[in-house]
Structure 1
Amino acid sequence: MSTSEQDLQQTNPLLQLDGLIDYAAVRPEHVAPAVEAQLARVNAALEHAADPATPAAWDAVVEPLEAAANDFGRTWGVIAHLQSVVDTPELRAAYNEALPKVSECFIRLSQNEALYGKYKAMRESADFETLSPVRRRLVERELRDFVLSGAALPEAQRSRVKEIGERLSVVTQKFSENLLDATNAYTLDLEDDSRLKGIPADTLALYRMQAEAAGRTGYRVTLQFPSYLPFMRYCEDRELRETLYRAFATRASEFDGGRFDNTPLMSEILALRAETAKLLGFADYGTLSLETKMAESPAEVMAFLRDLAAHAKPAAERDMEELRAFARETLGLEDLQSWDQAYASEKLREARYSYSDAEVKRYFTEPAVFSGLFALVETLFGITIRAADASVWHPTVKYFEVLREGKIVASFYADLYARAGKRSGAWMDGERTRTFRNGVLQTPVAYLVCNFTPGVDGAPALLTHDDVTTLFHEFGHTLHHVLTAQTESGVSGINGVEWDAVELPSQFLENFAWDERVVATLTKHVETGEKLPHELFAKMLAAKNFEAGMACVRQVEFALFDMILHTSFDPAHETVQGVLEAVRREVAVAFPPAWNRFAQSFSHIFAGGYAAGYYSYKWAEVLSCDAFEAFEEAGVLDPATGKRFLTEILERGSSRDAMENFVAFRGRKPAIDALLRLTGIETKAKDAAK
């Protein structure tokens, strides 16, 4: 390493990878030199691996290249993470400048013909059987991925696949930016609270705080979810609900004057994906996508979704009939509209079960929720979690260490609150993976990201029960990544896990947020310090599956729309909006206005990893409910069952197929019965039949 390279390594926090990243020190000007330095290292490692003189052996080819690629992946992962949580014009510009180079590098790695040859030679050599089972699995998987990346194609087609990959990275990033910018561009400013009747006090305080932050008096409502959702749920002013709903439902569409319109990007993304599939010899992108998933074909996925819809739609229709009748008879809403639905649903739930989300959230204070969550996983999985100090990217970010038998085995960052410049939604991502780096065992690190409403006026943040289940969901992902026992990076944590199985640990953990013993540990009233009363929990439990039929068919709607777009969509004869409306006619019970542009904000499939994979949420829910049923059978807090879940699923990563992991834990293949029972769909069907 030259003197200049050493100086760069010592001064650029994006290249200081021996320990934790100094996030507070990262600046946009660090991005370009860090990317260039890592590109140079990867290129050198690739050149060595592909050299004819380099033997086709794991130690000579895989280890040095993997070490360089892992470090590059971590540097770029940090940059991408910061761009999603503290977006600034300067950071966005640096990210977008580097993005094509990064995409080109990873595509070149996946298509390199000489490297592909080295892996084939490894597979065919007599030494292959001397490799560990995990390493043999990785070689086989790399060969599969080489083919799926176009490495086996003739030069012209391979080059086109590469061009498409590079273009897709740019276009999907632009989709995400448009959605963020469109969300941030809209505000509803009110001078007083005369039109905010029904809004809970803590949400009004948030609106005041948002106005003050903008240098205004009065109240500011935004399209960020913690601001938008309570407004739609509680605001009595129907005209204002319609105004805000229209702004939210038309984000990033042609209705904003073309500033952030995602419509042409969707068409380009779908066309590029379809072309890639054809070049690789697949009938459609959906079939290509499923090559790396549990499901075997789009037909199987759509049959699964339609079977689920057949179970759920009767319950959903009853849900909608009850809601319309209540809105008409009690609220005076003769014609229930989309901007009324959340409001009417909340009023019906309050009337039927005699409690409100606003009442419940007074008990779910953030410190109590985290204390109870940590106690739960400590009981189930034999770990300890403690707060620790680390450099962070925003003052509200927290850092925690995970210990086993007094030894630090992992850590994670928790970025919990919505703010300007932060992508909406909730997610987990791996910051680094458990593996050996320079001969030293590197412990895994994860990002846990949510968009909750922050505490106001010195009070702790108050979480709705929906927020609590969201936190449990993302923490399930976090545990999957940080509790791995694997040391080969390709199978460690969430790496390489089939996309339709990766939601198993997350959805599984959500179920514990409905156990009364667990809930008692999660609650401490913001004023009195009392636990959630049994009577209130009983009401919540009775309402647990309130409108579950509607929720289920809505997810089926999204998943079918996604799979149809990526299999049979014909842009010459139909539109994306037309496909969505056709799917709704088949499975939906709620129909938004014609001007609703949901697809333009469907970032999961247009800018995330869920293209031809959104069905994974329902697919994995079958797995997760069945897995949780094992805990119900043994005792929900049974450490022995927790130990088995840890060793057979969490610790395994992708060292085995996901189905093998599940069968090893459950003793059989998954069944849909637990899902239908836990979501109440089965119960509603039986009640209707009486």
Structure 2
Amino acid sequence: MSATSISHSSPADNPLLDFTDLPPFDRIRPEHVAPAIDSLLAEAEKALDTVSQPGFPARWGDIALVLDVATERLGRAWGVVGHLNSVADTPALRAAYNEALPKVTEFWTRLGADEQLYAKYKAIDPATLDAEQRQAHRNAIRDFVLGGAELQGAAKDRFAAIQEQQAALGQKFSENALDATDAFACYASAEELDGVPADVVQAARAAAEAEGKPGHKLTLKLPSYLPVMQFATRSALREKLYRAYATRASDQAGGEAVRFDNTQVIRDILALRQEEAELLGYRNFGEVSLVPKMADSPQQVIAFLRDLAHRARPFAEKDLADLRAFAAEHLGLADPQAWDWPYVGEKLKEARYAFSEQEVKQYFPAPKVLAGLFKIAETLFEVAIRRDEAPVWNPSVEFYRIERAGKLVGQFYLDPTARPGKRGGAWMDDARSRWLRPDTHGLQTPVAYLVCNFAGGVAGKPPLLTHDDASTLFHEFGHGLHHMLTQVNEHDVSGISGVEWDAVELPSQFMENFCWEWEVLRHMTAHVDTGAPLPRALFDKMLAAKNFQSGMQTLRQVEFALFDMLLHTEPQADFMALLDRVRDEVAVLEPPPFSRTAQTFSHIFAGGYAAGYYSYKWAEVLSADAYAAFEETMRPDGTPSPETGRKYRQAILEAGGSRPAMESFKAFRGREPSLDALLRHQGMA
């Protein structure tokens, strides 16, 4: 990389090179990406060369001062670009991202496999390190081995090429899934939308009007898609949307949309992962994936999932029998199709528990839910959460700070609303980590991105959340707390960094439980028109319905997780045939032959969960057991105990990745986790 190509980029004219504080999102443009990333790569290259020299001391602090400072800057700037690529995708930004992606991937791959650097780390005397540094050092040695540092010659070159190809294919998978979702729209008449909630109809009408079109614009974004599937009385409309949704990014998509087919992308990704595993001396990618996780082996995970499926199956079979009986008796559906089940389920729930999701939604205006979330976090974890100022990438994004005893602990961006060019789902990502910086000796506080895809407000009213949406918000905030409340000073093991992937969902799933506590919930509800809090009688109905279809939902999660693990342990299997086989074993409800769910399974093909999707269920065992500690110490008035909150904060949130997750869990609970709490929480005890 020549110096001439980087000489004109400075923080003054390139906002991606400004590390004084928060990213200047209001100034970042696609044309800034290439010069900034080239400049930062050149700095990181120089740092790597410096610390790899024979005379450079094998000391943690010396390496951190030169190499970690340079690579952390590169990581932060590239993180900003990747974040914008996920939440504000444009053709120009996508092109800039894709141009830089191979260079960035190549550098990180080479860094992780550098023999001189690996030798330097091996030469560090662990006796010179504190506890946090020792954990980070152990992780680093392990990651060098997984990064190919012990490979030689052609094998090493091939390993590096595989990493670049995988990065490009993962990005292609993501783009296809997003483009296939964004490509579909249909315009329904008012009659066709019979039964659909008024706010969804209003939003659909406004979307059509904005394009100068008649009717109501329906899309495959979840705030549009789900209410139609749940509430539309017209089966034909549900079928139209279901077919489009279930065939996204596949060979079954109609017309032009077939160009987004991910089938070959999946086959290529799987072949590369298998080749990577063999280069590293493992039988399959499942084994590689589990090296840094809590689970010991793919066999242990598969046994765990099959055990859970076995326990859930009788409940799932009863769920399905109830749905079939109700559909035949009350809806005249003798043979419900795939697009009928969400509708049947909603109607059965309304009949059985005498309430509807639509009724509940009126009590959950987004600002009120957020205030309730902040209140519980402030009470339990002894912090204050305040609005803050920062440049943002979209007018709907909010920024907050978290303080304890008047001192800044962390900050976060909240991007709640679905929109074109923003990928679906919900996630937390780190913008920067807590770090006692070796260059300034100052404490860098953590910053997080919290991203959801909720419906926007209509007709001047605030956005309304379903109870599921509220749980999603609590979930992502749990991840955020894990990242922001850490008290660890070593950035590689602070917050979520260094936490085993199958334990990283513990704090997120843990937070969801509070959405089912009356004393918490009543403070985060206010009817959108009257301001009245959620009535206790309605809450009691919701609670009665809490485990409605939990058997079927558990089997659905097991199906995804088992498919993922078998996919990465049986390299010779065709993924389509394997999915059918898993469904035959696990599912009580088989989707139609045209369904192609794998083609948009972004978690495992583009989201870091490869041979790791089981983590959700694995961590649910941990989180349910952790939450049981709060149930055991609940105060007489029904509010959670701040003492238990403090213990949880100190044992789990503050410890971050500075020790194995099992040690943190045992520090909190005094024992290893048990499956009992999860089965009880889900009504399957």
TM-score (norm 1): 0.96
Letter in 2 for 1:236: T
Cα offsets for 1:478-519 (capped at 9, x unmatched): 100000101111001111110000000000000000000111
**Aligned residue runs from structure 1 range 343-362, under 5 A:** 343-362=343-362
- Which residue is equivalent to 1:455? 457
Name the CA distance, whole Å, in 2 between partners of 1:498 and 1:492.
12
* Of 155, 161, 164, the match for 2:162: 164
2:28 alignment partner in structure 1: 26
**In structure 2, C-alpha distance between the alignment counterparts of 1:348 and 1:659, rounded to whole Å:** 41
| Residue 243, structure 1, aligned to residue 276, structure 2 | no
CA distance in 1, matches of 2:626, 2:284: 33
Q: 1:12 aligns with which of 11, 14, 19?
A: 14
- Correspondence for 2:187: 189
Equivalent in the alignment of 2:150: 152
Q: 8 Å contact 2:295–2:301 — kept in the other structure?
A: yes
Distance 1:18 1:59 in 2: 22
Query: Which 5+ residue runs of structure 1 have no aligned equivalent?
Result: 683-690
Deviation at 1:255, TM superposition (A): 2.2
* Alignment of 1:178 onto 2:181: no
Alignment match, 1:301: 301
Paired residue secondary structure (1:430): strand
Q: How far 1:569 moved relative to its partner?
A: 3.5
Contact in 1 for aligned 2:430/2:449 (Cα 8 Å): yes
- Matched with 1:668 is 671
Return the offset for 1:439: 2.0
Whole-angstrom CA distance in 1 between matches of 2:631 and 2:581: 40
Report the AA paired with residue 591 of structure 2: P
Deviation at 1:63, TM superposition (A): 3.2
Match of 1:379 in 2: 379
Map Cα deviations across residues 143-192 of structure 1 (whole Å, 9 max, x no partner).
111111111012211111111001000001000000000000000112x3
2:497 and 2:599 map into 1 onto residues whose CA distance is 29
Letter in 2 for 1:67: V
Give the alignment of 1:259-270 within 5 angstroms. Answer: 259-270=259-270
Question: For 1:18-57, what aligned pairs fall within 5 Å after superposition?
Answer: 18-57=20-59
Per-residue CA deviations over 1:96-118 (Å, capped at 9, x if unaligned) read 00000000010011011110110
Distance 2:571 2:313 in 1: 25
1:6 deviation in Å?
8.1
Which AA in structure 1 matches 2:552?
M
Q: How many Å apart are 1:213 and its aligned residue?
A: 2.7
Give CA-to-partner distance per residue, 1:613-666, whole Å, 9 cap, x none: 000000000000000000000115100000011000000111000000000000
TM-score when normalising by structure 2 = 0.97
Task: Give the corresponding residue for 2:104.
Answer: 102
Verify: 1:323 aligned to 2:323, yes or no: yes
Q: Distance in 2 between matches of 1:401 and 1:463?
A: 23
Equivalenced residues, count: 674
Task: Give, as a single letter, the amino acid of the residue that structure 2 aligns with 1:628.
Answer: Y
Q: Does 429-438 or 620-629 show the bigger shift?
A: 429-438
Work out the CA distance in 2 between the residues paired with 1:450 and 1:178.
Answer: 20
Q: Does 1:220 align with 2:217?
A: yes
The yes-or-no answer on 1:590 pairing with 2:593 is no
Structural mapping, 1:650-689, within 5 Å: 650-682=653-685
Partner of 1:220, secondary structure, is strand
Partner secondary structure for residue 386 of structure 1: strand
Where does residue 526 of structure 2 map in the other structure?
Answer: 524
Amino acid at match of 1:328: A
- DSSP 3-state at the match of 1:399: strand
Specify which of 197, 201, 212 is matched with residue 200 of structure 1.
Answer: 197
1:395-434 superposed matches below 5 A: 395-434=395-434
Give the CA deviation at 1:242.
0.6
1:3 to partner: Cα distance: 14
Find out whether 1:312 has 2:312 as its counterpart: yes
What's the CA shift for 1:132?
A: 0.6
Secondary structure at 1:665's aligned position in 2?
Answer: helix
Instruction: Give the distance between the partners of 2:309 and 2:378, measured in 1 at CA.
Output: 37
Gaps of 5+ in 2: none
1:481 aligned partner: 483
Amino acid at match of 1:187: A
The equivalent of 1:648 in structure 2 is: 651
Amino acid aligned to 1:614: Y
* Cα distance between partner residues in 2 of 1:58 and 1:669: 33
Q: Which runs of 4+ in 1 moved over 6 A?
A: 1-4
* 3-state SS of paired residue (1:677): helix
Deviations 1:356-393 (A, max 9, x none): 00000000011110111000000000001011221100
Q: Which amino acid aligns with 1:410?
A: G
The one-letter code matched in structure 2 to 1:452 is F
Residue in structure 2 matched with residue 545 of structure 1 by the alignment: 547
- Residue 59 of structure 1 and its aligned partner are, at CA, apart by 2.3
- AA matched with 1:554: R
Distance 2:281 2:499 in 1: 24
Contact kept? 2:135, 2:493, Cα under 8 Å: no
Aligned equivalent of 2:250: 253
Aligned residue type for 2:653: L
Which residue is 1:80 aligned to?
82
Partner residue, 2:620: 621
Correspondence for 1:498: 500
Structure 2 counterpart SS, 1:363? coil
- Give the residue type in structure 2 aligned to 1:62: A
Amino acid in structure 1 at the alignment position of 2:504: V
Tell me by how many angstroms 1:575 deviates. Answer: 2.1
Residue 603 of structure 2 corresponds to 604
RMSD: 1.3
Q: Which residue pairs with 2:134 in the alignment?
A: 136
Following superposition, the deviation at residue 81 of structure 1 comes to: 0.3
Instruction: Give me the whole-angstrom Cα distance separating, in 1, the residues matched to 2:238 and 2:459.
Output: 27
Distance 1:631 1:371 in 2: 21
Inter-partner Cα distance in structure 2 for 1:271 and 1:213: 45
Tell me, yes or no, if the aligned pair for 2:9 and 2:36 is still in contact at 8 Å. no
What is the CA–CA distance in structure 2 between the aligned matches of 1:243 and 1:654, rounded to whole Å?
Answer: 46
388-397 or 208-217, which moves further after superposition?
208-217
Between the aligned partners of 1:120 and 1:25, the Cα distance in structure 2 is 42
Residue 342 and residue 4 in structure 1: after superposition, are their counterparts in 2 closer, same or farther (change >3 A)? closer
| Deviation (angstroms), 1:218 | 1.9
Answering whether residue 580 of structure 2 is matched by residue 576 of structure 1, we say no
In structure 2, how many angstroms separate the alpha carbons of the residues matched to 1:639 and 1:525?
29
Q: Distance in 2 between matches of 1:490 and 1:93?
A: 30
CA distance in 2, matches of 1:478, 1:242: 38
Q: How many Å apart are 1:283 and its aligned residue?
A: 1.0
2-structure distance, mates of 1:527, 1:138: 53
Query: Residue deviations 1:265-320, cap 9 Å, x none?
Result: 00000000000001100111001100010000000000000010111011000000
- Deviation of 1:72 after TM superposition, in Å, equals 0.6
CA offset at residue 64 of structure 1?
A: 1.7
